[in-house]
Amino acid sequence: MTNFKFQMRKVAAIAACLAVAIMFSSCKKDDPKKTVAVAAQVGTMTAGETQMVTFAVTTENIADGSYTPQVANLPTGITAQGKVDISANKGTLTLAGSATTQAGTPDNLTLTIDGATSKKFTLTVTAATYSISANPTTLPFGSLSEGYEQHEEKIVTITNNGTGTITLNALPSVTNYTLGTLSKTTLAAGETASFTVRPNTNLAVGTHNREINVTGTGNTSAKVNAEFEVAVFLLEEVQWSGARNVFEYDDKDRIKKYTHYIGGQLLYVSTLKYDDEGDMIEEKHEDQRDPANNSITTLTRNGNTITCTSNNGGVTCSYELNAEGFPIKATWVAENITATYTWHNGNLIKEEQKEGSYSYTYTYTYDEYKTPMHNCKSPKWVLHFWSWNSGLGNKNNLKTVDLEEGDDDETYEYTYNNDGFPLTQTMSSYSITYTYKYKKK
């Protein structure tokens, strides 16, 4: 009986202990589980580029703070940047590419922070594309006259239209053109570089069209067409105060005919002929209003002397030329006029004229531009005496005329085209404006 009671007390004690253990066990709570999740990639990462992409990170049961990310299975050339800052269960993971990053879509990356590891997530690295373009693609430099001065330059812009960084090669050597230096040679996506282009000076008459091929990484290429022409421009027409002269030329760019109009009515036509040496030998004058005024003048050369003989009146005038072909003396028989000329650098700078007992001395100054007859190949003395206006025989355009024996002075003002030819000439004292029109040979 005693043993039974002992056993019962032992059982009761064990039961009491179990009850206490159960009671304490029911009062103790388990630690909450930490989780981390990674969302889809934001941004583009291109192979070989130092670009960054981000991933939104959400957490549970992870305290706010900065955590060093541990990203498993990162491909070569990709690194995690900085820390993941968790605030209110949200943060951002940043991954950066490099020059060694390869294209691909690894889908087994995991992120571990504060002991919690995410499920697998995917990183997308796209293959780089390479493309460049030029603007403009055509450089129209137009036409300039033979003997032009330096042409203004034009600018070409090269743009990287691809996703990969492009290194531009050295610019090519282009015949008859000068290319400037590239403003930069390494272009990230969307960046630009520029260079200048201009035709060389002293190019021959003709068309000078060339292709400029700019190349770079990935066999990229952008082509630019440069177009330029060196032409011969000849004076075609002069207009003033309702009158106009129209010039025609032979195949050697010499005046062969000029026609004079007033108010739209044809007055006369002068036709010039030349010998094999290039000297003018005949002028045929046809008066459209009165045929009685028609004449043919024959010009004969003997050494440096030119004698003019008209079919209407014998010898009319004579010219004495210097070694350069400029007239240094002229005599008009019927008018009893003798003139002597002084030339400098292709321009008549002094003229001394005697008419019977009267003497006149003129001095002249010039601009630095070409005369309208700059490209005409008629002899200088022909331009001086037989081209309607003696000033056309000079190298440059007349600016002032000073008559030493009086106040009959004159000044001239001009406008010019891009080739340096006069477009207009205005005489100060008479307020007359001459307008010049040119044609391309």
Locate 352 and state its tokens. 């001394």
pLDDT for residue 429: 81
The predicted pLDDT at position 1 comes to: 47
Across the 441 residues of the chain, what is the mean pLDDT of every consecutive 10-residue run?
51 48 47 93 92 96 96 96 96 95 95 96 95 98 85 96 95 97 96 97 94 96 97 94 95 95 94 95 94 94 95 88 95 93 96 92 95 92 83 92 82 91 91 93 85
Question: Which residues are 258's β-sheet partners?
Answer: 247, 270
Identity (one letter) of the amino acid at 12? Answer: A
Radius of gyration of the chain (CA): 47
CB 332 within 8 A of CB 317: yes
Superfamily of domain 132-231, CATH level 4: Immunoglobulins (2.60.40.10)
Domain spans in the chain, listed from the N-terminal domain onward: 35-126, 132-231, 233-440
Q: Is 391 helix (H, G, I), strand (E, B) or coil?
A: helix
Specify whether the CB–CB gap between 269 and 259 falls below 8 A: yes
**Do 132-231 and 35-126 have the same topology in CATH?**
yes
Which pLDDT belongs to residue 26?
44
Strand order in the sheet with 70-72: 70-72, 110-113, 116-117
Q: Please give the CATH architecture assigned to the domain spanning 233-440.
A: Beta Barrel (2.40)
Residue 24 pLDDT: 43
Phi and psi at 22, nearest 5°, equal: -65, -40
Measured CA to CA, the distance from residue 416 to residue 411 in angstroms comes to 17
**What CATH number belongs to 35-126?**
2.60.40.10
The one-letter amino acid at 258: Y
pTM higher than 0.75? no
Q: What angle do CA 398, 256, 239 make, to 5 degrees?
A: 45
Predicted confidence at residue 7, as pLDDT, reads 54
Chain centroid to CA 359: how far? 56
